[in-house]
């Protein structure tokens, strides 16, 4: 079977990295690109015989590109530390890369996200296909956006049947901490692109976000947690554009 290199980027993920790497032990090579964690993340990763590369001052996309450069496998599979490969997905991937011919060089994998106490099936969170498996020879690289980076690839992509499990927010404290970090990065990204925020962005964008997620994307079918997620997502948008407004005001 052609070799598979798995790439994970981390920062202070000692609570997640063990389960993540356990779900990847079947891969031929484990690569962890760590942002100089102050906890035991790197130590735990080395216990899995992973190649650990410590980096600083790199965007998420640059870290993934560092992992790609380190990879020796013909195929590359990437995960975040709070994600897991299921046995069913493992079997599907190994069967795919072992086949004599593959119809595509890159594959999208669906992600099922766990929020507080349940997997979310609507809200625009599911289905959630992202490019996760590709041949290194395809030349795929990640862009360098400050947040929500993505793989750049213009070729045709296949889709796998089974899901990645994403344990995104296990409690409210984690969500709020991440909200603060991500909204700062998103506001800075918009600021660098010359964007500005006003009354409409701070008032109506959050309201439309809730309406879209809860009604148009059927978040109402996810019960109480669907309501909570859609509400918090609207707050996320409000905070992001409020920070962008303040960033432009400070510039002036």
**Token representation of residue 134:** 């590709």
**Token representation of residue 95:** 């069967």
pLDDT of residue 1: 84
55 and 164 inside one domain: yes
- What is the residue range of 224's domain? 172-251
Residue among 186, 213, 183, 174 at smallest CA distance from 81: 174
30 and 138 inside one domain: yes
33 and 142 inside one domain: yes
144 and 241 inside one domain: no
199 and 88 inside one domain: no
141 and 198 inside one domain: no
**Token representation of residue 19:** 């389960």
pLDDT of residue 88: 98
- The angle that helices 223-251 and 172-192 make with each other, rounded to 10 degrees, is 40
Phi-psi region of 34 (alpha: psi -120 to 50; beta: other; left: phi over 0): beta
In the chain, beta strands by DSSP E? 4-10, 29-34, 51-54, 75-80, 83-85, 106-115, 118-119, 129-135, 141-142, 151-152, 158-169
Q: Are 90 and 113 in contact (CB under 8 A)?
A: no
89 and 159 inside one domain: yes
Q: In degrees to the nearest 10, what's the CA dihedral of 56, 59, 64, 65? A: -90
74 and 52 inside one domain: yes
125 and 215 inside one domain: no
pLDDT of residue 238: 98
Q: State how far the Cα of 202 lies from the Cα of 243, in Å rounded to an integer.
A: 10
150 and 224 inside one domain: no
193 and 146 inside one domain: no
Per-residue pLDDT of the chain (252 residues; tens, 9 = 90+): 899 999 999 999 999 999 999 999 999 999 999 999 999 999 999 999 999 999 998 999 999 999 999 999 999 999 999 999 999 999 999 999 999 999 999 999 999 999 999 999 999 999 999 999 999 999 999 999 998 899 999 999 999 999 999 999 999 999 999 999 999 999 999 999 999 999 999 999 999 999 999 999 999 999 999 999 999 999 999 999 999 999 999 887
Number of domains in the chain: 2
Q: In degrees to the nearest 10, what's the CA dihedral of 96, 98, 100, 102? A: 30
154 and 143 inside one domain: yes
pLDDT of residue 252: 73
**The last residue of a domain, from among 138, 154, 169:** 169
pLDDT of residue 199: 94
pLDDT of residue 251: 80
pLDDT of residue 214: 98
CB count, 10 Å around CB of 192? 11
**The last residue of a domain, from among 147, 169, 191:** 169
**The last residue of a domain, from among 118, 136, 169:** 169
Q: Are 125 and 229 in contact (CB under 8 A)?
A: yes
CATH of the domain at 117: 3.90.550.10
């Amino acid at each position: 079977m052609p070799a598979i290199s798995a790439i994970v980027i981390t920062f202070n993920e000692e609570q997640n990295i063990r389960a993540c790497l356990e779900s990847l032990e079947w891969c031929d090579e484990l690569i962890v690109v760590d942002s100089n964690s102050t906890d035991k993340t790197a130590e735990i990763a080395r216990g899995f015989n992973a190649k650990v590369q410590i980096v600083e001052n790199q965007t998420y996309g640059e870290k993934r590109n560092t992992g790609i450069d380190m990879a020796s496998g013909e195929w590359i599979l990437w995960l975040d530390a709070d994600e897991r490969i299921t046995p069913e997905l493992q079997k599907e991937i190994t069967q795919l890369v072992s086949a004599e011919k593959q119809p595509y060089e890159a594959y999208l994998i669906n992600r099922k996200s766990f929020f507080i106490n349940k997997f979310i099936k609507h809200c625009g969170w599911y289905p959630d296909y992202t490019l996760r498996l590709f041949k290194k020879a395809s030349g795929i690289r990640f862009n360098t956006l400050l947040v929500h980076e993505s793989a750049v690839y213009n070729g045709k992509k296949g889709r796998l049947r089974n899901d990645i499990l994403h344990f995104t927010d296990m409690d409210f404290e984690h969500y709020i901490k991440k909200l603060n970090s991500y909204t700062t990065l998103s506001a800075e990204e918009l600021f660098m692109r010359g964007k500005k925020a006003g009354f409409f962005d701070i008032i109506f964008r959050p309201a439309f976000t809730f309406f879209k997620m809860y009604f148009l994307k059927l978040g109402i079918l996810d019960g109480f947690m669907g309501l909570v997620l859609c509400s918090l997502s609207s707050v996320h948008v409000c905070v992001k554009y409020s920070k962008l407004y303040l960033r432009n005001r400070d510039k002036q």
